[in-house]
A = this chain, B = another copy of it.
């Protein structure tokens, strides 16, 4: 539909104040994209910066009334194009709703508004000896964005993902209704779980305006352990043993040879692995152990070393704390390393963790068939595989991506473990998912958003 920009500006200014609306050229270029590869920027009609749940509800009611699409935006660090604006729509930016409402140490919850960043929350919870344990690797990401994409990250093997750590929401549906779901408790069987439904829905069902987050005791002792292996099959065989041992690692990552070289070179990190071991190692396992006491960390480290030693590890290195932190940091920046290296697309498939070697072997076959380079790392404990795909030809790459993602689903996995579908993986998602499930999702969408104004075109059309 055609909406007159000046009418848009006036209508929104009446809701949030003229200072909090921009239209046309006043819209900053930062708001025209997220970090998804391969999607060009899109300039929206305008941007509105609501200051309260009520203002968000009023904006949505207006938008539903006139039929203007709304794209919610936190920090814009997403990797799937879920907050890419539409040229006929508005961005709802949550930068004015960026305060931590409360840290409640007794119920161990934080109540946050959607614009709060992970870094901001981490500093605040640290002061209480608590932690919000979802670290998707980009600490400037917003909690609203984390809820929308069900963000994961390396600590999921111990603490689960966003879904497991959000207890309740205040959200505005596409009808402009405010709903409050869940609460300061971890269990409830009181009707359908709308909290879980909104989490991971990428802004298509409701706009989150407040979230109740579960906090955990912050563990103060830890060790980062680097374990070179001859190949990934050995790592895949070792991982179930590590999980079954009950050691309970906080992080359990594999990194392939190319990626290890790239991410360490990128930050000038020397991990002290001797040349002969480096020469024999085709893959690395990185384990972070954390506990309440130093003695337990040491005990767990010894147990882990014995266990991986028996599973074919080439050696075991307990990294000095500086190097350990630098390696984890470098791993978190793997996406940026891949982007800087010119990767054309990224993969975030999840498969049953026992299928990782099989999956990666098939990906290498597919890469060879398509004369492309596919390298990566991933959350070995979760079966979440991150790959960088290098293939400049759009058509070839599209076929390769289709095969790579379809193979993951074929092995019992899903297209996205934590980035989301957004716009960049929509085609592959629709290719691989059961049409009956998509039909149900469309029905749910129509219930929450009958006018279809919340992020239309994300996940499915």
Contacts and interface: CB of A to CB of B under 8 A. Distances in A.
Interface of A: 104-109, 129-130, 149-150, 152, 156, 160-161, 163-164, 173, 177-194, 196-197, 199-202, 205, 217, 219, 240, 243-247, 292, 296, 350-354, 382-384, 412-421, 429, 433-434, 436-438, 440-441, 443-444, 446-448, 459-460
Contacts of A437: 179-181, 191, 194
A191 B108 contact: no
Contacts of A186: 156, 160-161, 382
B152 A187 contact: yes
A188 B429 CA distance: 12
B438 A191 contact: yes
Contact of A106 (B129, B163, B183, B240): B240
Contacts of A414: 182-183, 185, 188, 190
A180 B434 contact: yes
A99 B45 CA distance: 57
Given A164-B164, A179-B434, A190-B415, A352 B185 contact: yes
Contacts of A156: 186-187
Contacts of A420: 189
Q: Assembly of this chain: how many copies? A: 2
Nearest to A438: B191
Counting from the closest, the 4 A-B pairs by CB-CB distance are A443-B447, A196-B196, A184-B352, A106-B354
A382 B201 CA distance: 27
A197 B192 contact: yes
Contacts of A178: 436
28 contacts: A106-B240, A107-B240, A152-B187, A160-B186, A160-B187, A161-B186, A161-B187, A163-B196, A183-B413, A185-B384, A185-B414, A187-B382, A187-B418, A188-B350, A189-B200, A189-B417, A191-B421, A191-B437, A192-B197, A193-B196, A194-B437, A196-B196, A197-B444, A217-B243, A217-B244, A296-B296, A440-B448, A447-B447
A27 B192 CA distance: 31
A219 B247 CA distance: 11
Contact of A350 (B104, B187, B205, B247): B187
Which of A105, A187, A194, A412 has the largest number of chain B CB atoms within 10 A?
A: A187
A196 B434 CA distance: 17
Contact of A107 (B160, B354, B419, B443): B354
B417 A107 contact: no
A223 to B, nearest CB: 17
Contacts of A164: 160, 164
Given A179-B437, A240-B107, A437-B181, A421 B354 contact: no
Contacts of A352: 104, 107, 109, 183-185
A292 B246 contact: yes
Contacts of A429: 190-191
Contact of A189 (B246, B247, B416): B416
A71 B351 CA distance: 34
A441 to B, nearest CB: 5
Contacts of A384: 185, 187
Contacts of A434: 179-180
Contacts of A187: 150, 152, 156, 160-161, 163, 350, 382, 384, 417-418
